[in-house]
């Protein structure tokens, strides 16, 4: 039982490049989330999903897209990376009553 797994763990992108962050969970959780963490800002919700095939916007969705084609996977896409998207990205999943379990994070630098 691996819990919540994020790949990659580190990535450096050039401005304008695209990439996809993968989150996988093996706990059969319905809810999945993508957060970003910046110094002094806490964690801010980007997008979330309440079930397979559904997605919803969080606090800071601009510049990101997501997909939840399979229950166990939640993908976060950056179509055209910008330096403002330099951050640590955390994926989480939750079980009733929506208690979050987090992955170990992805550190993304956009230069």
Q: Which residues bind another protein (CB under 8 A)?
A: 31, 33, 35, 40-45, 48-50, 56, 58-59, 88, 90, 92, 94, 97-102, 104-105
Nearer CB in complex with another protein: 70/98: 98
Can you tell me which residue has the tokens 């990376």? 81
Question: What does DSSP say about strands 87-95 and 106-110: parallel, antiparallel, or unpaired?
Answer: antiparallel
Residue 45 makes CB contacts below 8 A (sequence gap 6+) with 33, 34, 35, 58, 59, 60
Nearer CB in complex with another protein: 17/73: 73
Token pair listed for 37: 């963490």
**CB-CB contact of 66 with 74 (8 Å):** yes
Shortest spacing between CB 98 and another protein, in angstroms: 6
Shortest spacing between CB 15 and another protein, in angstroms: 25
Shortest spacing between CB 105 and another protein, in angstroms: 6
Shortest spacing between CB 43 and another protein, in angstroms: 4
């Amino acid at each position: 039982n691996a819990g919540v797994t994020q790949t990659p763990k580190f990535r450096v992108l050039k401005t304008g490049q695209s990439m996809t962050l993968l989150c996988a969970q093996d706990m059969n959780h319905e809810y999945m989330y993508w957060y970003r963490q910046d110094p002094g800002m806490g964690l801010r919700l980007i997008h979330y999903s309440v079930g397979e095939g559904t997605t919803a916007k969080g606090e800071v969705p601009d510049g990101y897209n997501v997909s939840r084609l399979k229950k166990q996977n939640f993908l976060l896409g950056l179509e055209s990376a910008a330096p403002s998207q330099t951050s640590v990205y955390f994926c989480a999943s939750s079980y009733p009553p929506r208690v979050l379990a987090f992955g170990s994070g992805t550190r993304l630098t956009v230069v």
